[in-house]
Protein backbone atom coordinates (compact mmCIF):
# COMPACT_ATOMS: atom_id res chain seq x y z
CA UNK A 1 0.00 0.00 0.00
CA UNK A 2 1.36 3.40 -0.98
CA UNK A 3 1.90 5.80 1.93
CA UNK A 4 1.33 9.54 1.55
CA UNK A 5 2.78 11.66 4.35
CA UNK A 6 0.89 14.91 4.92
CA UNK A 7 2.21 17.94 6.80
CA UNK A 8 0.50 21.11 7.97
CA UNK A 9 2.01 22.82 4.91
CA UNK A 10 0.72 20.27 2.38
CA UNK A 11 -1.60 21.59 -0.33
CA UNK A 12 -4.90 19.68 0.11
CA UNK A 13 -5.69 19.86 -3.64
CA UNK A 14 -2.36 18.25 -4.54
CA UNK A 15 -2.76 15.59 -1.84
CA UNK A 16 -6.30 14.91 -3.12
CA UNK A 17 -4.93 14.41 -6.63
CA UNK A 18 -2.34 11.97 -5.28
CA UNK A 19 -5.06 10.09 -3.36
CA UNK A 20 -7.24 9.75 -6.46
CA UNK A 21 -4.28 8.68 -8.59
CA UNK A 22 -3.21 6.04 -6.11
CA UNK A 23 -6.78 4.76 -5.63
CA UNK A 24 -7.26 4.40 -9.38
CA UNK A 25 -3.93 2.59 -9.71
CA UNK A 26 -3.96 0.40 -6.59
CA UNK A 27 -7.48 0.62 -5.11
CA UNK A 28 -6.06 1.72 -1.75
CA UNK A 29 -3.69 4.23 -0.15
CA UNK A 30 -2.56 5.17 3.36
CA UNK A 31 -2.32 8.78 4.51
CA UNK A 32 -0.19 9.56 7.57
CA UNK A 33 -0.34 12.83 9.51
CA UNK A 34 1.33 13.99 12.72
CA UNK A 35 -0.09 17.03 14.50
CA UNK A 36 -3.38 18.89 14.37
CA UNK A 37 -2.46 20.97 11.30
CA UNK A 38 -1.42 17.90 9.32
CA UNK A 39 -4.58 15.99 10.28
CA UNK A 40 -6.62 19.03 9.20
CA UNK A 41 -4.92 19.11 5.78
CA UNK A 42 -5.36 15.34 5.37
CA UNK A 43 -9.07 15.60 6.21
CA UNK A 44 -9.54 18.40 3.68
CA UNK A 45 -7.68 16.35 1.06
CA UNK A 46 -10.02 13.39 1.64
CA UNK A 47 -13.07 15.61 1.15
CA UNK A 48 -11.61 17.08 -2.05
CA UNK A 49 -10.63 13.62 -3.35
CA UNK A 50 -14.18 12.44 -2.75
CA UNK A 51 -15.50 15.37 -4.78
CA UNK A 52 -13.08 14.50 -7.62
CA UNK A 53 -14.29 10.88 -7.61
CA UNK A 54 -17.97 11.90 -7.48
CA UNK A 55 -17.62 13.33 -10.99
CA UNK A 56 -16.85 9.79 -12.19
CA UNK A 57 -19.63 8.19 -10.11
CA UNK A 58 -17.00 6.67 -7.79
CA UNK A 59 -16.57 6.96 -4.02
CA UNK A 60 -14.05 6.24 -1.29
CA UNK A 61 -14.06 5.39 2.37
CA UNK A 62 -11.39 5.94 5.01
CA UNK A 63 -10.52 4.01 8.15
CA UNK A 64 -8.71 6.17 10.74
CA UNK A 65 -6.29 4.75 13.30
CA UNK A 66 -3.58 5.93 15.67
CA UNK A 67 -0.01 5.19 14.64
CA UNK A 68 3.38 5.61 16.28
CA UNK A 69 6.21 6.87 14.08
CA UNK A 70 9.88 7.01 14.98
CA UNK A 71 11.39 10.41 14.12
CA UNK A 72 15.04 10.55 15.10
CA UNK A 73 15.21 9.38 18.72
CA UNK A 74 11.60 10.32 19.36
CA UNK A 75 8.38 8.34 19.01
CA UNK A 76 5.45 10.49 17.82
CA UNK A 77 1.78 9.59 17.74
CA UNK A 78 -0.10 10.40 14.58
CA UNK A 79 -3.20 9.50 12.61
CA UNK A 80 -3.32 7.11 9.70
CA UNK A 81 -6.21 7.06 7.23
CA UNK A 82 -6.39 3.86 5.21
CA UNK A 83 -8.39 4.84 2.14
CA UNK A 84 -10.16 2.42 -0.19
CA UNK A 85 -12.36 2.65 -3.28
CA UNK A 86 -16.00 1.94 -2.50
Sheet of 3-6, strand order: 3-6, 28-33, 74-85, 60-71
pLDDT in tens, 33-47: 999 999 999 999 999
Reported confidence tier of residue 86, pLDDT bands at 50, 70, 90: confident
Q: How many domains does the chain have?
A: 1
Q: What is the CATH number of the domain that holds 6?
A: 3.30.110.20
pLDDT band at 65 (very low <50, low <70, confident <90, very high): very high
What is the reported pLDDT for 56? 92
Q: What is the mean pLDDT of the chain?
A: 96
Domain that holds residue 74: 2-85
Tell me the average pLDDT across 74-78.
94
Q: Which of 1, 3, 7, 11 is nearest to 49 (CA)?
A: 11
pLDDT at 1 over 90: no
pLDDT band at 71 (very low <50, low <70, confident <90, very high): confident
Tell me the pTM. Answer: 0.93
Amino acid sequence: MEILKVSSKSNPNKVAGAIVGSLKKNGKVEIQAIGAGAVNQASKALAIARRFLEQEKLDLYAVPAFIEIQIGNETRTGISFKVYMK
